[in-house]
Amino acid sequence: MKVRLFRFLTATLAAFAVFTISVTLAARADGTARIQQTNGTVNVYPGVKIQIIHNTLAMTTADGSGTLMIYRAACAYQGDVLVCLPTGATLVQGGSVNPIRIRQGTVYANLTNEAQQLSLSTMHIPARSIVMALTTQKGTYVTLSGTIDKVKK
| Model confidence pLDDT, tens digit, residues 81-131 | 999 999 999 999 999 999 999 999 999 999 999 999 998 899 999 999 999
**Contact between residue 42 and residue 34 where contact means Cβ atoms under 8 Å apart:** yes
Q: What is d(CA 72, CA 57) in angstroms, rounded to the nearest whole number? A: 9
Element (H, E) at 20: helix 2-26
pLDDT digits (tens, 9 = 90+) for 55-95: 999 999 999 999 999 999 999 999 999 999 999 999 999 99
Distance CA(68)–CA(95), nearest Å, equals 13
